[in-house]
Chains A and B, each alone.
Chain A
Amino acid sequence: MQLQYFLLLAAALFCIGIYGLVTSRNAIRVLMSIELLLNSVNLNLMAFSNFLDPQGIRGQVFAVFVITIAAAEAAVGLAIVLSIYRNRDTVDMEQFNLLKW
């Protein structure tokens, strides 16, 4: 097993996340893409932690923080999506044009 396998996998996941981020029209799917990005970062951190820092495992600690904060961000994100859905009755990103981009 090599470090590079994991890093390549993380890079692939990151690119899929970026694709989803740019092309999704459903606000909730954009949130999911952000979760994919954060997961790819976590895989990077865990791989580095195992191969470069196997005794100190700072990467594992970092990943735990990332998981925690991703959960908080998802909660806030869904709260915002809910409040905009109540007012606008849609979650389509193309319809959110009260303010021009």
Chain B
Amino acid sequence: MDFANLAAQLNAGTILPEGIVIVTLLVVLVGDLIIGRASGRWIPYVTIAGLLGAIGALYFQWDHSDSIAFLGSFNGDALSIVFRGVIALSAAVTTLITVRYVEQSGTPLAEFLVILMTATLGGMFLSGADELVMVFVSLETLSISSYLLTGYMKRDPRSNEAALKYLLIGAASSAIFLYGVSLLYGLSGGETRLSQITAAILSSTGDQSIGAVIALVFVIAGIAFKIAAVPFHQWTPDVYEGSPTPVVAFLSVGSKAAGFALAIRLLVNAFPTVSEQWHFVLTALALLSMVLGNVVALAQTSMKRMLAYSSIAQAGFVMIGLVIGTDAGYASMVFYLLVYLFMNLGGFACVILFTLRTGTDEISEYSGLYQKDPLLTLCLSLCLLSLGGIPPLAGFFGKIYLFWAGWQAGAYTLVLVGLFTSVISIYYYIRVVKMMVVKEPEEMSEAVKNYPPIRWNLSGMRPLQVGLVICLVATTFAGILSNPLFNLANSSVTRTQFLQTPIAAIARPVAQIESSADQL
């Protein structure tokens, strides 16, 4: 294998978007080293430009037919392009809402953005990783950067504690995941590429089912940790409460999207012989996440904690699409993640803004905010209502599509539980909205009474305002004008080869799984 031949086989153009992110990362790092603290003025814009450049590069790769790169390590198919886009976009919006927060806390901005970009990079590679080693390395890139981001406010014991808990639980879950992966390597007789693992396992003789089931359980433990599905969710509320809020925003969108991308690729590809079992396990996880996430969110008094439980519940909704495993199911998952990106990041942008102005995130302190800051109230209300699924906001259409796809595929239990828990969720979202809007002036909380005058010209406030408005507009209109997003989600699924071949085999046992779930 000579060099020219090898270079042609690598098909390195596929990772151009990631390449752009890496170059941006190095520019920010070196630029900050050379210029010093003064670089804080241009660094966020370079970061955003780099991330948007990566999204642009992804756009131009949409039509490439030759998606396998690096001799099978990476598969840049349509599904991975959508997920990489979601992750890069969430990082870009997170950068917008980060600037003021980090500046106000006095921590260096450049390192924060560099670590954020590494996390983005890990997530993007994870979405397309088609080979066990690549899956592991990119998963760890994402995880280790997330631990670092979580502990970034190092003078604050809560941030330290959140980082320690996240690190210990995360490292343990990735070690367990890795044990499952090593079993997969053994079961397939020494293959690490996902497609070859499928072939090897299908053609193997003898009864490997117990090994496959154990590998499956261990792998699901790792994935469920990343997407924070019940019962692997215990870290979520603590980590969300103790981390810097922009980090939480990224973890709840970007990191989760990467987890879902991994789940689709790994489960569909590597576990064809136990597909009934994994559908069953995921059905249980989805039911538990929807019920527990929504019910516990009712009792929360801290906004960040409430959003943490709400994000657990949202992950449960998205898992409906994964479990039913039809074209419409995957497409509704992608669509919901696209919508969720804007409404959740919008919600967190509002929480950040309120925190920066008043220094608290208690739900009760929001009361009467309408009189002091109508824009913030409007934005937070719309994002929360959209998360709850009130028409005609974007979240409503996302949920309708998910439930419709589930109903079509015969997953009645999941859809009914989903509907019921959405009603619960509307209650706690509306409680916040009511608190902000309806209260009389005399019922205003202390924090709101001392609300500082609104000044958008402070350094770092403009990006936050821009991020807020972008999320607001997207949340409001993505529902009504959802056709482009809808088409994007659909064609990303129909153009992805690995989803097209096994779907016929998977679609069948759903009704069966449903009936066994009913007996639970």
Do A and B touch each other in the complex, judged by CB within 8 A? Answer: yes
Whether a CB of chain B sits under 8 angstroms from the CB of A25 is no
- Say yes or no: B190 contacts A58, CB within 8 Å: yes
Minimum distance in angstroms from A52 CB to a CB of chain B: 4
Asked, given contacts A41-B175, A77-B171, A96-B161, whether A65 binds B137 with beta carbons under 8 Å apart, the answer is: yes
Q: B192 in the interface, Cβ–Cβ < 8 Å? A: yes
B241 beta carbon closer than 8 Å to chain A: yes
- Selecting from B143-151, B373-381, B393-401, B493-501, the interface stretch reads B143-151
Say if the beta carbon of B157 comes within 8 Å of chain A: yes
Once the chains are docked, how many angstroms separate the CA of A36 from the CA of B140? 17
Say yes or no: B133 contacts A62, CB within 8 Å: yes
When the two chains form their complex, are residues A65 and B189 in contact, meaning their CB atoms are under 8 A apart?
no
Is the beta-carbon distance between B185 and A61 smaller than 8 angstroms?
no
Tell whether, in the assembled complex, residue A62 and residue B132 are in contact, meaning their CB atoms are under 8 Å apart: yes
**Highest count of chain A CB atoms <10 Å: which of B158, B192, B241:** B192
B136 is contacted by which of A66, A81, A88 (Cβ under 8 Å)?
A66
> Known: A38-B175, A41-B175. Contact between A27 and B164, CB under 8 A?
yes
The residue that A96 contacts in the complex, of B133, B165, B190, with Cβ under 8 A, is B165
Indicate whether A65 sits within 8 Å of B136 (C-beta atoms), given known contacts A34-B168, A41-B182.
yes
Task: Determine whether B186 belongs to the interface, using a CB cutoff of 8 Å to chain A.
Answer: yes
Does B18 sit at the interface, judged by CB under 8 A? no
Chain B residues touching A, range: 35 or more
Q: Which of B156, B178, B238 contacts A101 (CB 8 A)?
A: B238
Chain A residues closer than 8 Å to B234, beta-carbon distance: 101
The residue in chain B whose Cβ has the minimal distance to the Cβ of A36 is: B175
Q: Max chain B CB contacts within 10 Å: which of A21, A49, A98?
A: A98
CA distance in complex: A17, B171 (Å) = 12
Query: How far apart are A91's CB and chain B's nearest CB, in angstroms?
Result: 9
Of B158, B171, B178, B192, which one neighbours A41 at CB under 8 angstroms? B178
Given known contacts A37-B176, A76-B167, is B189 in contact with A52 (CB within 8 Å)?
Answer: yes
Please, which residues of chain A bring their CB within 8 A of the CB of B192? 58, 62
Give complex CA distance A41, B182 in Å.
7
Assess whether A53 is in contact with B179, with CB atoms less than 8 Å apart: no
B172 at the interface (CB under 8 A from A): yes
A23 at the interface (CB under 8 A from B): no
Asked whether any CB of chain A lies closer than 8 Å to the CB of B155, the reply is yes
CB of B242 within 8 A of CB of A48, answer: no
A22-74: which residues lie under 8 A (CB-CB) from chain B? 27, 30-31, 33-34, 37-38, 40-41, 44-45, 48-49, 52-53, 56, 58-59, 61-62, 65-66, 69, 72-73
Set A7, A66, A100: member contacting B178, Cβ < 8 A:
A66
A49–B186 Cα distance when bound, in Å, is 8
A8: interface (CB < 8 Å): no
Give the docked Cα–Cα distance between A4 and B148 (Å).
39
Q: Find chain A residues with CB under 8 A from B182 CB.
A: 41, 44-45, 48, 59, 62
Contact B238 A34 (CB under 8 A): no
Within 8 A of B (CB), among A1-26: 7, 14, 17, 21
Which A residues fall within an 8 A CB radius of B? 7, 14, 17, 21, 27, 30-31, 33-34, 37-38, 40-41, 44-45, 48-49, 52-53, 56, 58-59, 61-62, 65-66, 69, 72-73, 76-77, 80-81, 83-84, 87-88, 96, 98-101
Extra A-B contacts (4), CB below 8 Å, given A59-B182, A80-B163, A99-B158: A41-B179, A69-B137, A69-B144, A84-B157
Q: What are 9 residue pairs bridging A and B, where the CB atoms are less than 8 Å apart in the complex?
A: A30-B168, A37-B176, A37-B179, A48-B190, A62-B133, A62-B185, A76-B144, A83-B160, A84-B157
The 7 A-B pairs of least Cβ separation, nearest first, read A53-B190, A37-B175, A84-B160, A99-B238, A44-B182, A48-B186, A52-B190
